[in-house]
């Protein structure tokens, strides 16, 4: 007998995607830096280097360079669309802003991309009160309960005297004032100009430093990998999915040496594997801009300039579960986990694997 539809659904897991790419970091057409740049909002970066006891100075200083960010409390959204703000920050560098402690599956959320696009993800009532043009969320099903509004702050037609600008300002200032706590980061190419600290009132803005932790893992079982074999080869090397799960186990401090018959857990390190005496793990938590991650990735590639025992190292980046976008302007939502993360495996010869993972309410990564 065929299983009825509702029962079959019970056995189905929510949709998710894992995209795996391999290429070479020094290929002219390699897109690794572009993939990092396109993923604007990152809350945690971790890297793991096998056979490494102490971190080289150059990596230490790169980590120390991961910039500060700001927490802005109770910011009225219209302040981000004033021309003073656009001219001082948005047009003179790359400005990242994301609402803090807002849940995208229930609250209104806003994000300012470094490209100057302001993206609002709002519920139906707010959308109707705002009266700004938008589109229904891709993931709202038959009855639309969430809308996405995109405002291009860099658009030449968005000048101070234009009707468009006046309407947006009026909508956000008078029609339906929206207030959020924002995470903000700004990096500009020139040294001169004002800073976010002096632009916003002192009692509203707070400077925050990324939290950095180091640890050394002893006698770690590491899977054997071959850069040319994404799918792995039986008895010779592990596949990219196996590595992805193993790395998750390592970062969550899961024990790796269980037996297939043990009661508690049957997870074990994929085969074949080797035991490395020590591995260095560093985790950076905060509001981390892509430029800092590109720097770090570049320095990690340079780690292999001198001969090293390690065959590969990994760099993992977690996105914000409640950001309205994942890569570029692809809409992101929170279904069951809101996951959007990626991981690089950089090999000794600078081949790399890139794994990009998203959950149910997401487009395919680029």
Partner 1 sequence: MARADPPPPPPAAFERRVLRSAAEHHYLRVRLELPDGGARPSAAQFKQLVVTALRELHGEVGAALPVDVLTYEEKTLSAILRVTSSGLVKLWSALTLLGFYQNRRCAFRVLQTSPFLLALSGNSRELVLD
One residue of 46, 62, 137, 273 binding partner 1 per CB under 8 A: 46
Q: Residue 283 Cβ, how far from partner 1 at the closest point, in Å?
A: 9
The piece of 121-129, 192-200, 265-273, 295-303 that touches partner 1 (CB under 8 A) is 265-273
Q: Residue 156 Cβ, how far from partner 1 at the closest point, in Å?
A: 35
71 makes contact with partner 1 (CB under 8 A): yes
Task: Compare residues 12 and 198 and give the one whose CB is closer to partner 1.
Answer: 12
The piece of 5-13, 120-128, 146-154, 185-193 that touches partner 1 (CB under 8 A) is 5-13
Angle subtended at Cα 114 by Cα 108 and Cα 117, rounded to the nearest 5 degrees:
50
The piece of 107-115, 130-138, 297-305, 313-321 that touches partner 1 (CB under 8 A) is 313-321
Task: Compare residues 179 and 241 and give the one whose CB is closer to partner 1.
Answer: 241
208 makes contact with partner 1 (CB under 8 A): yes
Q: Residue 99 Cβ, how far from partner 1 at the closest point, in Å?
A: 12
As given in the structure block, the two tokens for residue 58 are 């150059």
253 makes contact with partner 1 (CB under 8 A): yes
Q: Which residues bind partner 1 (CB under 8 A)?
A: 10-24, 26-27, 29-30, 43-44, 46, 71, 100, 103, 208, 227-228, 230-231, 240-241, 244-245, 247-249, 251-255, 263-267, 285-286, 316, 318-322, 336-339, 341, 343, 349-352, 357, 359, 364
């Amino acid at each position: 007998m065929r299983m009825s539809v509702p029962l079959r659904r019970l056995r189905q897991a929510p949709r998710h995607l894992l995209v795996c790419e391999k290429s070479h970091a020094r290929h002219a057409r390699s897109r690794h830096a572009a993939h990092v740049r396109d993923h604007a909002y990152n809350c945690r970066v971790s890297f793991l280097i096998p056979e490494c006891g102490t971190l080289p100075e150059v990596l230490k200083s790169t980590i120390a360079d991961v910039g500060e960010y700001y927490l802005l409390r109770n910011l009225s959204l219209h302040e981000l669309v004033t021309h003073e703000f656009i001219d001082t920050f948005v047009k003179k560098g790359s400005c990242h802003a994301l609402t803090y402690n807002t849940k995208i599956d229930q609250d209104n959320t806003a994000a300012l991309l470094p490209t100057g696009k302001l993206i609002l993800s709002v519920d139906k009532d707010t959308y109707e009160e705002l009266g700004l043009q938008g589109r229904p969320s891709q993931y709202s099903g038959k009855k639309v309960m969430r809308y996405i509004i995109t405002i291009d702050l860099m658009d030449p037609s968005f000048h101070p005297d234009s009707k468009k600008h006046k309407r947006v300002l009026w909508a956000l200032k008078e029609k339906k004032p929206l207030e959020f706590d924002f995470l903000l980061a700004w990096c500009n190419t020139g040294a001169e100009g004002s800073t976010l600290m002096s632009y916003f009132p002192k009692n509203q803005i707070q400077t925050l430093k990324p939290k950095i932790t180091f640890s050394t893992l002893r006698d770690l079982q590491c899977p054997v990998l071959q850069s040319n074999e994404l799918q792995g080869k039986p008895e010779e090397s592990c596949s990219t999915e196996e590595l992805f799960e193993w790395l998750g186990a390592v970062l969550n401090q899961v024990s790796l040496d269980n037996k297939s018959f043990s009661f508690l857990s049957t997870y074990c390190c994929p085969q074949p594997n080797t035991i490395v005496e020590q591995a260095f793990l560093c985790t950076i938590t905060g509001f981390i801009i892509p430029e800092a991650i590109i720097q770090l990735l570049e320095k990690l590639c340079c780690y292999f300039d001198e001969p090293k025992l390690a065959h590969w190292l990994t760099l993992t980046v977690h996105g914000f579960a409640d950001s309205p976008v994942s890569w570029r302007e692809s809409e992101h939502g929170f279904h069951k986990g809101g996951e959007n993360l990626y991981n690089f495996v950089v090999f000794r010869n600078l081949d790399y694997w890139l794994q990009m993972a998203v959950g149910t309410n997401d487009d395919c990564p680029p």
